[in-house]
Structure 1
Amino acid sequence: MAWVWLILGGLFEVGFTTSLRHVDGFRSIPWTIAFLVSVTLSMLLLEIAARTIPMGTAYTVWVGIGALGTILVGILAYGESATPVRLLLMLALIGCIVGLKLTAGK
């Protein structure tokens, strides 16, 4: 179950990075609320997952999920570049995340 919490936490990280793009110096109240809720849930779920998963592994996977998700949001919603090299590096990051999961131990 810890891995489920960790994945959800990583997805909420995507929520807070996406919200951060729109907070406008924290003047946009709806986006600021979305940011605060997302960052709180993301950190809470990371903490819960790290009770079982080694902290270094949990943190690295959490960051990786957040980074990949944020890149995908950038490409799909904001027209950021999707060059072959960028996509290859994303695949490498996915491979690293999977490798950490497979070697995590307890």
Structure 2
Amino acid sequence: MWLAWVVLVVSGVLETVWAGALQASGTFHRLCPSLLFLFALASSIAGLSYAVGHIPLGTAYGVWVGVGILGTAAYGMAALGDPVTVARVLCLLLIVAGTVGLRVLH
């Protein structure tokens, strides 16, 4: 079962990769980011698919989305100049709390 959790977290990280690649693709006008988007998207969904075979759907999906949101928001703030405010950080901490809660209550 631990492998399903590792695959799920990696799939959530790949969600961040495909979101960043989607932005970098320039609405699919740049080849390399577009190909990275497709690869990361397919890999992320495949990992989620594997995980839901071992983890309840609601828990798996919540963790997958939570990891993706956190990674994408962090990427946006660190690399793209998205604003870093106390309110945004507190909201992200609430997502962390909910994601950890889903894992703990599983």
Q: Give the TM-score taking structure 2 as reference length.
A: 0.95
Q: Does 1:91 align with 2:98?
A: no
Q: Report how far residue 77 of structure 1 moved.
A: 0.2
Amino acid of the structure 1 residue aligned with 2:5: W
User: Gaps (5+ residues) in structure 2?
Assistant: none
Q: Report how far residue 87 of structure 1 moved.
A: 0.4
Which of 25, 40, 65 is equivalent to 2:42?
Answer: 40
Partner deviation per Cα, 1:50-80 (whole Å, 9 max, x = no partner): 1010011101110110011000000000111
Amino acid of the structure 1 residue aligned with 2:35: I
Q: Which residue pairs with 2:81 in the alignment?
A: 79
Q: Report how far residue 27 of structure 1 moved.
A: 1.8
Q: Report how far residue 23 of structure 1 moved.
A: 1.4
**Mapping 1:7-86, distance limit 5 Å:** 7-86=9-88
Cα distance in 1 for residues equivalent to 2:17 and 2:27? 17
Partner deviation per Cα, 1:71-99 (whole Å, 9 max, x = no partner): 00000001111100110111111010000
Runs of 4+ aligned residues of structure 1 deviating over 4 Å after TM superposition are none
Give the count of matched residue pairs.
Answer: 104
Kindly, what percent of the aligned residue pairs are identical? 36
Amino acid of the structure 2 residue aligned with 1:91: L
Q: Report how far residue 24 of structure 1 moved.
A: 1.7
Q: Report how far residue 25 of structure 1 moved.
A: 2.4
Partner deviation per Cα, 1:4-41 (whole Å, 9 max, x = no partner): 00000000000000000011221211011000000011
